[in-house]
Amino acid sequence: MSYREGAERFYDLFGAKDDAPFYIELAHSHGDRALELGVGTARLAIQLAREGVETWGIDNSPHMLRAAEANLRREPPEVRSRVRLELADVRGFNLSERFGLVYFPSCSFDHILLKEDQVQALSNIREHVAPGGVYAFELTHIPELKPESGWFVQEKTLDEHRGVVRTGYHRTDPEKRTMTINLWYELCHDGRILERYFESGEVCIHSPEGVRALLEEAGFEVEAWYGGHDKREFTPESELMVVVARPS
């Protein structure tokens, strides 16, 4: 995604997820030291830090990191002290550190389009997993790819007078296994648009077989494969692939 400055204020409004308990449990099981890839607004990193997990986070967007830092400043000192944020690209970062849990949430791995970049990212991630540690991530699963497109509209209320409308358009290309996404965010006050932001991007639509092959090529083996963060069984109809892997 383009992730232009300004719209990051609204991401968490439309990104409500039930993923925090899943990653918190993994962090507690692997030494209470975690690295989040694509940390964004630090929504998840802060939740882990509140539970006593030392959490590092990287992102390749300076303005997303500014949003994360602003959110972090609202937390008490003991939470702030557990979070460290770095500007870095997942395909080429080196923190000179290893972590019991490295995780890539919010289907963000989907945004890496080229296979060589995917393998490079996974190989780089592998170098940051501590002995006995794991790499956890999630991907969108579309059981049957079709050449389709469509619109959606979502609205969230901020207060008595203000609200945010998010309009989206997506188009799927089954042959390339990609989806193009356009998003418009509108901040409204009593029906009048005060601010408007546009973002666009393309994501890769992975198959389970393709993910397993990528992991194997990058030196990982699958430890667990779920259809949701509640650890439900993955089936051909599942809308998520939630994967826990460890270096081979």
Distance CA 79, CA 47 (A): 9
The pTM for the full model equals 0.94
Distance CA 49, CA 20 (A): 11
- Tell me what pLDDT residue 2 has: 64
> Helix H segments across the chain?
11-14, 20-29, 43-50, 62-73, 77-80, 115-126, 208-217
Long-range contact set of residues 147-155: C-beta below 8 Å, sequence gap at least 24: 147/172, 147/173, 147/174, 148/172, 154/14
- Tell me what pLDDT residue 102 has: 98
- Tell me what pLDDT residue 25 has: 98
CB 42 within 8 Å of CB 65: no
CB 206 within 8 Å of CB 28: no
CA 219-22-208 angle, 5° bins: 45
For the segment 211-233, what is each residue's pLDDT rounded down to a tens digit?
999 999 999 999 999 999 999 99
Task: Report the helix count and the strand count for the chain, using DSSP H and E.
Answer: 7, 11
- Tell me what pLDDT residue 1 has: 64
- Tell me what pLDDT residue 6 has: 80
Residue 236: count other Cβ atoms within 10 Å of its Cβ: 9
Beta strands in 60-191 (DSSP E): 83-87, 99-104, 129-140, 149-157, 162-173, 178-189
- Tell me what pLDDT residue 159 has: 95
Sequence-ordered list of residues with C-beta below 8 angstroms from that of 126, at least 6 positions apart, any chain: 135, 218, 219, 220, 247
CB 159 within 8 Å of CB 71: no
Distance CA 15, CA 163 (A): 16
pLDDT in single tens digits along all 248 residues of the chain: 666 778 888 888 887 689 999 999 999 999 999 999 999 999 999 999 999 999 999 999 998 999 999 999 999 999 999 999 999 999 999 999 999 999 999 999 999 999 999 999 999 999 999 999 999 999 999 988 999 999 999 999 999 999 999 999 999 999 999 999 999 999 999 999 999 999 999 999 999 999 999 999 999 999 999 999 999 999 999 999 999 999 99
- Tell me what pLDDT residue 222 has: 98
Q: Which domains does the chain have, with CATH numbers?
A: 7-141+206-247 (3.40.50.150), 149-204 (2.20.25)
In the numeric block, the tokens 């270096």 are attached to 247
- Tell me what pLDDT residue 106 has: 93
3-state secondary structure of 211: helix
Distance CA 223, CA 54 (A): 23
How many Cα atoms are found within 13 Å in the side-chain-facing hemisphere of 31? 15
